[in-house]
Amino acid sequence: MSAMPSVINRFIDYYAELDNQPPSALAGLYDAQAALIDPFGEHRGLFAIQRYFTHLLTNVEHCRFVIDAPVCDGHRFALTWTMNWSHPRIAGGETLALPGCSIVDVANDRVVLQRDYYDAGEMIYEHLPLLGWAVRSVKRRVRS
């Protein structure tokens, strides 16, 4: 029997309440040599991933994911999600929604590679005073 559903369930449970999860809980989900890649960088090894999550969640008031049904193929699954989050210094602390997706490789009932895709501009840059104006202007020009 495949361990895939177990990993997927743990993954979904962890991210569904990310702001209530201690970084130490990542050890139950990620392999010691796992890699997590997203628009902000590449993090190799469980310790680096835990450090990254600790940094990301510093001062975040709320961060939870609504995750759609995964698609599985062998030792890989993919899922789309919406991250609902708020930070007191971004967008006046209002809750923001960010859509994205993750492609996750699994071995031995642990995540060994996670690649997240989302718009970093939509997440952060568009909400910063001067930089936000520039990013939104570029997006408008591309759309027209």
> Nearest to residue 37, comparing CAs of 124, 100, 109?
100
pLDDT at 1: 38
Q: Evaluate whether residue 109 is within a structural domain.
A: yes
**Among candidate residues 66, 127, 133, the one with its CA nearest the CA of residue 94:** 127
Tell me if 105 is assigned to some domain. yes
Confirm whether 133 is domain-assigned.
no
- Give pTM, 2 decimals: 0.85
Domain containing residue 91 = 4-119
Is residue 140 in a domain? no
Q: What is the CATH number of the domain that holds 70?
A: 3.10.450.50
Residue 128: inside a domain, yes or no? no
Domain count for the chain, please give it: 1
Query: Is residue 36 a part of any domain in this protein?
Result: yes
Q: What is the mean pLDDT of each run of 10 residues along the chain (144 residues)?
A: 78 94 94 97 97 90 95 95 92 92 97 95 67 66 78
Q: Indicate whether 126 belongs to any domain.
A: no
